[in-house]
Amino acid sequence: MYQVTLGRRSYRFSDLRQLMARASPARSGDYLAEVAAQSAEERMAARIALADLPLKVFLQQPLVPYEQDEVTRLIIDGHNAAAFEPISHLTVGDFRNWLLSEQADSATLARVAPGITPEMAAAVSKIMRNQDLILVAKKCRVVTRFRNTLGLPGHLSVRLQPNHPTDSLQGIAASMLDGLLYGSGDAVVGINPASDSLPLLEKLNYMLDDVIQRFAIPTQSCVLTHVTNTLRLIERGAPVDLVFQSIAGTEAANRGFGISLALLAEAQQAALSLNRGTLGNNVMYFETGQGSCLSANAHHGVDQQTCEARAYAVARHFSPLLINTVVGFIGPEYLYDGKQIIRAGLEDHFCGKLLGLPLGCDVCYTNHAEADQDDMDTLLTLLATAGLTFLIGVPGADDIMLNYQSTSFHDVLYIRELLGLKHAPEFAVWLAKMNIIDASGRLRDTAANHPLLLALQGERP
């Protein structure tokens, strides 16, 4: 039982789950789950109580029962006590102050990251303002490698997303080459297929690999199908670079996705056996999103932001090349408007980076949410300022297969120009060699006989 008195009124919180939920900023998903604070005053009371809570409590009182949940067991059994020791004496409030201090520099944050549990990260985020989330995330450095180097300070990478509603190879190729000519694609060229047909998925893998190999592009490809399909593709000898899977923060929600930790481990080993990376062996790509546990009725009464942070424990275990939150994709039932989407995006990025993950974001919304592209411009600018690892590049910002609004190749040009952000270094060298960017990194005009345009026309340069 936790109790706080504000003026003449006392607020009681029955357990740690309720305290965490009541301390969360208002969002529609928590109201839907009936775990949200009923007033701003109750929310503040919960935050006051949470700030006084020792970090050690989260190791002693799991929010999801240890015996019932393999994600909880992963968090508790895999906790790095040595990394936690320097901050083990802190309360949640002290932890916030320490994170904002000069003492918590990039090297120190990297050392303590293995000792921070998702619940600790979620708890401290609940008592932080947006500027706090940005400042601390900016200090967190997470670098990963496969065929290029991602996450370096002053850099921002892009997942080129050339989706097509009928999986047309020609349509996908056109969007792909369009993105490359805008300088996008250093994070990954990743396709969300409309079909689960294994022969088609195989064709998509071969097409992506053909373009990457033909033009010696220092990037990686991924067909974002279920992990079991990717395992079958590997068995068939398809050129698989990265293994993709959507993940969530509880065992029950992951079961709803048709996955387990053991299955993810099997897929990771299968991808590693292909030895396709040239600079590193980070072979996994994960996507997450606030509300996934609630939508599967698998949240155990835990608020959606804490469930999201728990998904990052799953990702961290597999050392991914990339992980991104699809922050506004699940819909207004979970994040109602632009304000809630912006806050959630900053929370997700902060928690992921604090836990040592290469966090990116699909800055996005669905057309029935109370949000628009101005809200996305705001979130994009805030996240890039906070050191976002990568974002999504979609032709015109309008994904015609998934039917939602994301960020465009032009949005990427805006944020690079505004903040002076660079491409992944190996990719930048290739872009300059292909006369796509100049020596300063600015986009060049594309000549009609550019090799990529000739390839789109079916001609070999």
Q: CA-based angle 185:188:191, to the nearest 5?
A: 100
Question: In the numeric block, which tokens belong to residue 291?
Answer: 């509300």
What is the block-wise mean pLDDT of the chain (461 residues), using blocks of 10 residues? 90 97 98 97 98 98 97 98 98 98 98 98 98 98 98 98 96 94 98 97 97 97 98 98 98 98 98 98 98 96 98 98 97 97 98 98 96 97 98 96 96 97 98 95 88 72 40
Question: In the numeric block, which tokens belong to residue 437?
Answer: 């960017």
Q: What CA–CA distance (Å, rounded) separates 182 from 331?
A: 29
Angle between the N-to-C axes of helices 227-235 and 261-274, in degrees from 0 to 180, rounded to the nearest 10: 30
Question: In the numeric block, which tokens belong to residue 384?
Answer: 């890039």
Question: In the numeric block, which tokens belong to residue 16?
Answer: 């740690």
Q: Of the candidates 287, 378, 370, which has an alpha carbon nearest to the alpha carbon of residue 331?
A: 370
Exposure of 171 by Cβ count < 10 A (0-12 exposed, 13-18 middle, 19+ buried)? middle
Residues 145-158 as b/e (b if ≥16 CB within 10 A, e otherwise) read bbbbbbbeeebbbb
Q: What local confidence, expressed as pLDDT, does residue 225 receive?
A: 98
CA distances from 82 to 79, 122, 127 (A): 9, 21, 26
Q: What local confidence, expressed as pLDDT, does residue 460 receive?
A: 45
Whether the model clears a pTM of 0.95, i.e. scores above it, the answer is yes
Q: Of the candidates 248, 208, 242, which has an alpha carbon nearest to the alpha carbon of residue 225?
A: 242
| Beta strand 221-223 pairing with 243-246 | unpaired
Question: In the numeric block, which tokens belong to residue 92?
Answer: 């949640």
Q: What CA–CA distance (Å, rounded) separates 119 from 76?
A: 11
Question: In the numeric block, which tokens belong to residue 373?
Answer: 């592209």
Q: Of the candidates 105, 129, 143, which has an alpha carbon nearest to the alpha carbon of residue 358?
A: 143
Q: What local confidence, expressed as pLDDT, does residue 454 receive?
A: 85
Alpha helices in 127-260 (DSSP H): 130-139, 169-181, 198-214, 227-235, 251-256
